[in-house]
Amino acid sequence: MVEWPLGKRKGFLLITIAIIAVLAVGLGLVINQELISQHMYPRDTIHENSNLCIRGVVTSIEENHKSQGLAISSYHIFRFYIQLNITEIVWIKDDLADWIVFSTYNNTINDRNSIGIGYDNLDDLQLFIGQLVECKGYYLPVTDTPNSFIITVAPSISQSYLNH
């Protein structure tokens, strides 16, 4: 018969605690992964109609970009985040034109001639720095969401695209 160095009860208790700890860590990892994936493309994307179309030159491209809102739990992970220097404002929907300051002469939106593109389509972009592109999507002119002050291109946004 095997003699337990700490006694049967203490040995059983230690094994039980170890099993519970392993299960708790595993459950924590699963919950964390689920919380992160809720904010990833295209599951968490907004559902709107396109309201802005611009042309511009690509200045940066970032994959799996996390865009933060004001609240800690308010964020979205874009498949790609592209920064553009605006070369032309092609079209602005009337209701957006009432909310932003823009100049088709200087090619600026809110006194800036650069803009971010949050791209949530699942295809692989074949872009390069310095490339001229045209983008149509949803621009949100408020400060408290992960989609603020960028053009979002996603399957859930009607008529949105990024042509290159």
Per-residue model confidence as pLDDT tens for the chain (164 residues)? 556 565 667 777 778 888 888 887 766 665 555 555 555 565 556 778 999 999 999 999 999 888 877 776 677 888 999 999 999 999 999 999 999 999 999 999 999 999 999 998 888 889 999 999 999 999 998 888 888 899 999 888 888 999 98
Dist. CA 67–CA 120, nearest whole Å: 12
Given CA atoms 72, 74, 76, 82 in this order, what sign does their dihedral have?
Answer: negative
Tally helices (H) and strands (E) across the chain: 2, 8
Q: What is the pLDDT of residue 96?
A: 92
Question: Is 121 within 8 Å of 78 (Cβ atoms)?
Answer: no
The pTM assigned to this predicted structure is 0.73
Q: What is the pLDDT of residue 158?
A: 86
Q: What is the pLDDT of residue 145?
A: 82
Q: What is the pLDDT of residue 8?
A: 66
